[in-house]
Structure 1
Amino acid sequence: MNIAFFITPKIDLVYININSTMRQALEKMEYHRYSAIPLIDDDAKYVGTLTEGDLLWKLKNTPALSFNNTQDIRLSELSLHTINEPVSISAEIEDLFSRAIDQNFVPVVDDNDTFIGIVKRKEIIEYCAKTVLKERINFSAI
């Protein structure tokens, strides 16, 4: 089954531009209570996943940095420690199984590599659960 059935579109997501500041990211992630969000560039291309860990490591490894001056640090200056490889909109749900083991979401891009949404781990698990239940019902009907 094509992942288009499972995608949460970009318009319904929290994501952030790589030229935003650390403070903007911290506030956005705190407000929405997310520990990771997609990171895009000015051309709407997916460039990575920003995590709380990335922000904490920057704070830890930059002695003069405190919350009060996080507005001076652009996200482009951070090292990203989590690589969530995107998939094409034409991918099949089965292509996401191995990724869902380590990722809360899988970024989705179109044919021009433009970020268009994500597939959440929850959607993948629900699909698997429904498939297993359906197989059990079909098997017990035999």
Structure 2
Amino acid sequence: MNIAFFLLPKQDVVCFTQDTTLRQTLERMEYHRYTAVPIINEDGGYAGTVTEGDLLWYIKSRTDLTLDQTNKVKLLDVPLRINNKSVRIDSNMNDLISLAKVQNFVPVVDDMNRFIGIVRRSEIIDYCQKIIMEQHNILQDQ
């Protein structure tokens, strides 16, 4: 199975640039109710995934930071606790599944390492469930 089948294209994905402010990040994540969002660098490549935890730990470590000052902090300055990995569009399902075990979504890049979208863990689980059910039905029919 080609992973492109599962791809949610970049234009349909909420993502941030490294220049997005901390305030913008907080507001957009709250609005969309996302717990993790991909970050894109200036070349269009995947730069990482920011999580609610990353934002929380950054704010906690900056006791002098006010809400107004969050407009001056760039996402580039917020340390990411986890290095979420991406896959290339020509990767196989095993690569995708192994990453989906530990990530909410798997970022997908093209052969030039430009971000082209994500594959959600729920899509992968649905795919695996379908395979299991098909195999179960085959076994019952035998």
| Identity in percent | 48
Give the CA deviation at 1:141: 1.4
Give the corresponding residue for 1:114. 114
TM-score of the pair, normalised by structure 1:
0.97
Give the counterpart letter for 1:102 in structure 2. V
Give the CA deviation at 1:98: 1.8
Pairing of 1:1-142 with structure 2 (within 5 A): 1-142=1-142
Give the counterpart letter for 1:93 in structure 2. M
Query: Take 2:14 and 2:73, find their aligned partners in 1: how far apart are those partners?
Result: 20
Query: Take 2:115 and 2:85, find their aligned partners in 1: how far apart are those partners?
Result: 12
SS at match of 1:125: helix
Deviations 1:33-84 (A, max 9, x none): 0011000111111000011111111111112112221001011111001211
Moved more, 65-74 or 14-23: 65-74
Report the aligned-residue RMSD.
Answer: 0.9
**Is the 1:59–1:66 Cα contact (8 Å) retained in structure 2?**
no
Query: Take 1:95 and 1:141, find their aligned partners in 2: how far apart are those partners?
Result: 32
Give the CA deviation at 1:86: 0.4
Give the CA deviation at 1:131: 0.1
**Is the 1:16–1:40 Cα contact (8 Å) retained in structure 2?**
yes
Query: Take 2:126 and 2:93, find their aligned partners in 1: how far apart are those partners?
Result: 12
Unmatched segments (≥5 aa) in structure 2: none
**Is the 1:93–1:124 Cα contact (8 Å) retained in structure 2?**
no
Unmatched segments (≥5 aa) in structure 1: none
**Is the 1:2–1:90 Cα contact (8 Å) retained in structure 2?**
yes
